[in-house]
Amino acid sequence: MDGLLTDQPGPHVVTLSYASNLGVGIGTRELIANANVFIVDNTGIETSLNETSNGTYQTDSAFAAQEEKTYFLRIVINNQTYESDIEKLLPVGQLDSLYFKAQSTSEGNQFQVYANSHKPQQGTALMRWRSSFIFEVVTWPQFAPEPPPCADPCTCCICWASGQNKDIVIGNESNFINNMFNANLVASIPIDDQRFQIRYYLTVDQLSLSKNAYTFWDLVLSQKTGAASLFQPASARIVGNVHSVANPNEQVLGLFQVSSMVSKSIFIERSDVPVSMQHDPPFLNTTDCRNQGTNIRPSFW
């Protein structure tokens, strides 16, 4: 399972699936439908999550974690109850700024995005950074051999693709000097004509972590980086903080994370791509752009 509750407005999402063999993608896992999922706070208030699609459960948009409260997740599947450890909302500090550099790496040309951060005045400095993106897609379906109905007038020529980057970035007290963590590499974005056809919008979230959550992400990162090494250590089982109430020996994988969160966003324009890294599009894309995203323009674009 995978669940995250933050102090920002929701919806907050919990995803449930049965464990699969190593290497099986999330898209092929067996998702768990018709479960009852609740977030419970230290006052005993239960907030029920709605199943919005198969295996995906979410709160309403007004729900958010509150300071000084603790929370745990309760899941009921076929009359079997699972609960997470109790997690407390911890301070996250400040995300001061973002900047980027174009770099040639062993994995190709990339924009590497860096963050400057302050740790919280109180509490630990255990943190995670994640990033999400939106980029503009322009196609020419009117020139297709059989143009779709949306091509005249064209409502499927300009779209916006979105998603989550896969970088796993965590930090602890050792990363901070004078309460600051500068030049922290938080995202590596391949430079290609799809992402940088027009412009690319990146949002970076800085999230506080409990010791349990930090240990979980540290193990995930170790296995990810170790998989690329000939001398990788034996894989440790990444268990997380969710357990069966009736059978403590049952293995349950995943994490319910409660985090304070701060965010910043930047645009990277096509003009920011160095001339030496630019290439002309290899062909005229005549597909319906809605195959890659939505034709609803973001309000800030």
CA angle 90, 95, 97 (to 5 degrees): 175
Distance of CA 159 to the CA centre of its chain: 21
In the predicted model, residues of the chain with pLDDT beneath 50 are 22, 24, 229-231, 234
Q: How far apart are CA 82 and CA 242, in angstroms?
A: 7
Helix, coil or strand: residue 42: coil
Alpha-carbon distance of 190 to 194, in angstroms, equals 10
Q: How far apart are CA 51 and CA 41, in angstroms?
A: 20
Domain range 91-214+260-301, its CATH number among 3.30.420, 2.60.40, 1.10.1660, 3.30.1540: 2.60.40
Nearest of 278, 276, 272, 279 to residue 101 by alpha carbon = 272
**What DSSP string runs through 186-230?**
EEEEE--TTTTSSEEEEEEEEEE--HHHHHHHHHHHHHHHHTT-T
Q: What is the DSSP string of 113-134?
A: EEEEEE--SSS---EEEEEEEE
pLDDT at 248: 87
Q: What pLDDT is recorded for position 229? A: 47
| Ramachandran angles phi, psi of 211, nearest 5° | -60, -40
The whole-number pLDDT of residue 239 equals 76
For 26-78, write each residue's pLDDT tens digit: 556 799 999 999 999 999 999 999 999 999 999 999 999 999 899 999 999 99
12 vs 60: CA distance, rounded Å: 8
The whole-number pLDDT of residue 108 equals: 93
The closest alpha carbon to 82, from 281, 253, 219, 201, belongs to 253
Strand, helix or coil for residue 57 = strand
Quick one: pLDDT at residue 230?
44
Instruction: Report pTM.
Output: 0.89
Q: Measure the CA–CA gap between 131 and 184, rounded to whole angstroms.
A: 13
The number of beta carbons lying within 10 Å of the beta carbon of residue 175 is: 15
Please, which residues bridge with residue 263 across strands?
205
Burial bucket for residue 52 (CB in 10 Å: 0-12, 13-18, 19+)? exposed
Measure Cα distances from 194 to 17, 132, 279, 282 in Å: 32, 16, 11, 11
Give the contacts of 189 (CB within 8 A, at least 6 positions apart): 110, 111, 112, 113, 133, 165, 195, 200, 202, 268
* Structural domain spans, the chain: 91-214+260-301
Alpha helices in the chain (DSSP H): 211-226
Q: What is the pLDDT of residue 231?
A: 46
- Count Cβ atoms below 10 Å from residue 275 Cβ, excluding itself: 6
Question: Token pair of 215, please?
Answer: 């240990």
